[in-house]
Chains A and B, each alone.
Chain A
C-alpha cells in the first residue's frame, strides 16, 4: 500500500515578481493564441530549494492559487543566484494576470510585480488554456 497517497501534496507560499521576456514578446506578436506563446508564458521560475520542498522536478506542472485565481503552469529553475527561496518569477502575461490582486488602494495601479500565491504539485495536469 502506498502511504504517500494519504499525504497531502506539499504546498508552499511564494511571492511572484513578473518581468518581460524578449522571446515571449516575439511569440506574442506572431500568435498570442499559439503554443509557443503559451510555453513561454505559462511558467514559474523557482529556487532549487522550493523545488525540493514541493517534491516536483523541472518541467512538472504546478498549480498556483490565491483568492483572485488559479492557474496551472510549468515549473522551471530560475538559474538565478544567490538563492531566492520563497520568491518566484513569471513573465508578465494573461497567466500571471489571473493572479494579480484587484486591490489598488484607489491609485489605478495594480500590484503586477507583487503577487502572493500558494504553489503545489499538479503533476500530469495540463497548463491552463487562454479562454478565447
Chain B
C-alpha cells in the first residue's frame, strides 16, 4: 500500500515522513513527529476570526481596514514571515515595494548573519542528508537540538545508520557539544561536552585554532589545554565534520570573523561544513527570497524604486527609533519574542496581525485576521535549514483563509 506522507512545519527541519489520521478535518493522530510537531499539527481550528479594534467583523471589513492603515502610513513595517510559505513571502516582498515599507524578519536578531554568509559562500555548506549519510563528527555549538529540533540527532546527525555510516553512533560518529550549560544535547555528548563560561566562545575558538596549529591553547578562564588539544585532534581526523551553529554561539560573537577563521583552519586540516540551526520553518526561505530580490537577507527599506539596507531598518532599531508608523505582522509575536523595553513601542502605532494563533500582539492589534496554519491547513513550498527546497500540501481543510490569500486581497485593494 502506498503511504501518504506529510511535511511537518513545526521547525526548520521540515521532516517529510509524517503520517496522520484525520477525520472531518480534525487530526486525531500524528505519527513519526516529535512532541513539538504533534502539538503543531493538532493546532488546527475550523473557524476564522476577523477583528477590528477587538470587535468581530467580516472578512471584507478587516481587509479594508488593513488597507486603510497601510495607505495612511508613511513608513509601515512589514515583519514576520518565518512561518509562511515562499509564495506568501514573495507576496509580502511585493507588498513592501508597493507601500514603500520597511521589511524585516526575526533573522535580523537571530541567525540572519550566518545565512547571509552562507549565501555569499563564506562557509562550506552541506545538507542534512549528507550529514545522515556521511558525517563522522558533529559539533553542536551554542545549539541544543534535543530541545529546539527534537528529531535532529535521531534523523540526521547522530543516531541514524547512513549509507556510509552503517555502524552508527556506537562506532562511527562523534557528537560534541560546546555550550555554557549542560543541555539535553550536551548530556548525549557525554565526555565530549566542553563547558565554557558565558561569553567565552571567541576565546575558545582562538584556543582551538591555536591547538589545530599545534600550539598551546590558552584561555583567560583556564580551560584545561589538554582537553582542547584532544578536541583539536578529533577534529583534525574528521572525514566529514559539521558545526551546527546556534544562537548561543552567535550571540556571544561580535561578528562572524572568528567563526570564519575557525572554519578555514579546520578545512586546512580536514573537511568541515556549517549548518545553521534555523528554528522557524521557513526563515531561511525568507532570507533567500529577499536575497534574490534585493541582495540582502533582512532589514530593508523600499523607497522610490530603490532598496536601502542596514540595522536601522531592523525591527529592533526601527521600533527603538520610532521610525515606523504602522505595522503589518505576519506569523510572529514581537510582544512575546522581543524585549518588552523595545516591543512596547508597537503599542503606539496601528498594527495589522495575520496569524493562525491568538498572541499577545493579536490581542492588541487594530486588525486581526486568523489564517490557516501553513503546512497543516494550507500548502506551499519552503527552504529547510540546510537550504534544501521542500514542497508541502495541506493535511486538512479549514474555513480560515491562507495568509497568501489574505495578502493577495490586501494587494488587490491597494
List residues 347-361 of chain B with CB under 8 A from any CB of chain A.
357-360
Contact call B342/A102, Cβ cutoff below 8 A: yes
Contact call B147/A22, Cβ cutoff below 8 A: yes
Shortest Cβ distance from residue A89 to the other chain B in the assembled complex, whole angstroms: 6
Which one of A23, A108, A109 has the highest number of Cβ atoms from chain B below 10 Å of its Cβ? A108
The answer for the CA separation of A101 and B251 in the assembled complex, in Å, is 14
CB within 8 A of B35: which of A17, A20, A26, A110? A26
Contact call A110/B358, Cβ cutoff below 8 A: no
Query: A62-101 vs B: 1/0 string, CB under 8 Å?
Result: 0000001100000000101100100101001110011011
B258 contacts partner chain A, Cβ-Cβ < 8 Å: no
B100 contacts partner chain A, Cβ-Cβ < 8 Å: no
A107 contacts partner chain B, Cβ-Cβ < 8 Å: yes
CB within 8 A of B147: which of A25, A30, A32? A25
A57 contacts partner chain B, Cβ-Cβ < 8 Å: no
CB within 8 A of A108: which of B109, B182, B251? B109
The answer for the CA separation of A107 and B336 in the assembled complex, in Å, is 20
The answer for the CA separation of A92 and B247 in the assembled complex, in Å, is 12
Instruction: Give the number of A-B contacts (CB < 8 Å).
Output: 118
Residues of B within 8 A of A93 (CB): 336
The answer for the CA separation of A108 and B199 in the assembled complex, in Å, is 19
The answer for the CA separation of A102 and B79 in the assembled complex, in Å, is 19
The answer for the CA separation of A22 and B10 in the assembled complex, in Å, is 12
Q: How large is the interface on A (under 10, 10 to 19, 20 to 34, 35 or more residues)?
A: 35 or more
List residues 335-351 of chain B with CB under 8 A from any CB of chain A.
335-343
Shortest Cβ distance from residue A17 to the other chain B in the assembled complex, whole angstroms: 6
CB within 8 A of A94: which of B36, B39, B182, B336? B336
The answer for the CA separation of A110 and B184 in the assembled complex, in Å, is 25
The answer to whether residues A109 and B251 also contact, given A26-B36, A104-B320 and a CB cut-off of 8 A, is yes
A7 contacts partner chain B, Cβ-Cβ < 8 Å: no
Contact call A19/B341, Cβ cutoff below 8 A: no
CB within 8 A of B316: which of A22, A98, A108, A113? A108
Contact call B198/A100, Cβ cutoff below 8 A: no
CB within 8 A of A97: which of B40, B147, B198, B336? B336
Q: How large is the interface on B (under 10, 10 to 19, 20 to 34, 35 or more residues)?
A: 35 or more
CB within 8 A of B43: which of A20, A29, A101? A29
The answer for the CA separation of A101 and B320 in the assembled complex, in Å, is 12
Residues of A within 8 A of B180 (CB): 17
The answer to whether residues A108 and B317 also contact, given A21-B147, A30-B39, A94-B336 and a CB cut-off of 8 A, is yes
CB within 8 A of A32: which of B35, B146, B357? B357
B86 contacts partner chain A, Cβ-Cβ < 8 Å: no
CB within 8 A of A98: which of B108, B144, B340? B340
CB within 8 A of B198: which of A17, A80, A108, A112? A17
Contact call B109/A80, Cβ cutoff below 8 A: no
Query: B145-163 vs A: 1/0 string, CB under 8 Å?
Result: 0111010000000000000
Residues of A within 8 A of B35 (CB): 22-23, 26
Q: Which residues of B are in contact with A by a Cβ distance under 8 Å?
A: 10, 34-36, 39-40, 43, 108-109, 144, 146-148, 150, 180-184, 198-199, 247-248, 251-252, 279, 299, 311-312, 314-317, 320, 335-343, 357-360, 363
Query: Told that A22-B146, A110-B316, A113-B198 touch, could you supply 16 new A-B pairs with CB distance under 8 A?
Result: A17-B198, A19-B181, A19-B248, A21-B147, A22-B35, A22-B36, A25-B147, A68-B341, A81-B182, A93-B336, A101-B339, A102-B339, A106-B317, A108-B317, A110-B342, A113-B247
Q: Which residues of A are in contact with B by a Cβ distance under 8 Å?
A: 15, 17, 19-23, 25-26, 29-30, 32-33, 68-69, 78, 80-81, 84, 87, 89, 92-94, 97-98, 100-102, 104, 106-114, 130-132
- 18 residue pairs bridging A and B, Cβ less than 8 Å apart: A20-B148, A26-B36, A32-B359, A89-B181, A97-B340, A98-B339, A98-B340, A100-B340, A101-B339, A102-B339, A102-B341, A104-B320, A108-B109, A108-B314, A109-B108, A109-B316, A112-B109, A130-B360
